Every structure is written in structure tokens, then in C-alpha cells.
Structure 1
């Protein structure tokens, strides 16, 4: 039996929101978790995880492609439904002010870091704002990409 009363530790038994704690001065403290695994054959493992605190950054400037140039931004998925889900995921990422990835970085990652699948769509855009507009049109069905 482990006595947890009065300690900062608790055992999570069901999914629940993971609120960030604060220190005695009210500053946020990184979330930490211990994860244990007890194997059938006697192998045991424990790891302590801590969230990356990130850093405050200003939102990326809207126009990121050099004047007169555009960035090719592809998306692909196994099905049309999954393709729209990927578009929603990318739009949510772009709308989150914590993410300040440059348009060039986004385009490069989607061109080289993802597997090309059967259903595809793509845009040639000059800014994150233009990409967000194209994604909204595609998600709503008013644009093909």
C-alpha cells in the first residue's frame, strides 16, 4: 500500500483533463508523469516524462514566401474522409498561435516527411493566411485544392 494523501502524487485510473499546476508564486509548473510497465515475464520498466515548456513566440508573419514565389503544400490520405480530417488538423495547427512554423517549413515537411497516399490535394500559396483560406474552402467543400 502506498500512502499518497498529502503528497503531490496520485494514481490516474480514468481519462481526465490534465490541468497544469502552479508553484507558490503562481508560475506554471511543467506537467510530469511517471509511467510504469510490469511485464508478464518479470520485466519491469518505469519512465518519468516532463512536458516541453516551449517558449513564447510572436505569431509568424503572414507573407512568408519571397515576392512572386509560392510554396507547394500537399496533403494526402487513404480516403477522402481522412483527407478532410488531415486538412482540419493542419488548419487547427495553423490557427493555434503557439505554432509559428514558417510557410516554407510547413511545405517542406508535408512534401518530404509524409507518405504519399491515394487521395491527394495541394495548393500553391504565398502565405500562411492564404493556406488557411484554401484549407477552409476545401473542408467546406467549396474548393478543390
Structure 2
């Protein structure tokens, strides 16, 4: 009986400690996995901004609040944000941050959905650059 328990627990420990898929499984089942946007990063749209890393990260979070995107994952390492386009559109988009110089930060936006990636990158990059939200209509456009 002791050998069976030992083998069983040894197998579980080996399985859980060495397999990233198992560690990501609970998040995947809950719909909170970032694996898809991480895998799509090679096709990300990117731009470099003249902000310190922390400033760029905070400004991006503020922009996401303004455009009503839903942040569903904010890893402790703080090098990415995983968002849904909105609370009703659960298209996954990843926003990655990389320090390029002392006061420059590279922002990459990835998604399996090309339209979502292009739309959000246009909005976020414009607003990080100090321009107004390109999707907000001005009073003149409404008239």
C-alpha cells in the first residue's frame, strides 16, 4: 500500500511541477489564459514611445479604462496586459511592454483577431502619442 501511495504522489508532483500546460489549465478553464495572445506576439503591431516603462504602463491602463476595454489578466511581472475588447466583446488582445532605453518603451499589441489588433493598436498608439481617440466623434462630426 505504501508503494502505491508513494508512486501516486510522486507521479502527481512530477506532473504538476514540470508541465506549464497543467499550470495554465485552471486559467484556461476559467477563460483567463494568456497563451493565445502570447503565441500571437510574433505578429504583433508595435510602436516605441518616449515614456519611462512605468509611466507607459500606467498611461496604457488609463487608456483602456477610457475606451472601456476589460483587463482580465495583469501578471505580477507587469510586462503585459491581457484584455477583452470590451465587456461584451471577448476577443482576446495582449499588450506587451519592453524597456527600450532609459526613457523609451516598446508597446506591442497582439491578437489572433487581426481586426481587433489593428483597431486597438490604432486607438492606443494614437492616445499614447497624445492624440485624441480616433474613434471618438467630435461635436463637428456629430452635427
Task: Give the shorter-chain TM-score range.
Answer: under 0.3
- Normalising by structure 1, we get a TM-score of 0.25
Asked which structure has the greater CA Rg, the reply is: 1
Q: Where is the helix percentage greater, Structure 1 or Structure 2?
A: 2
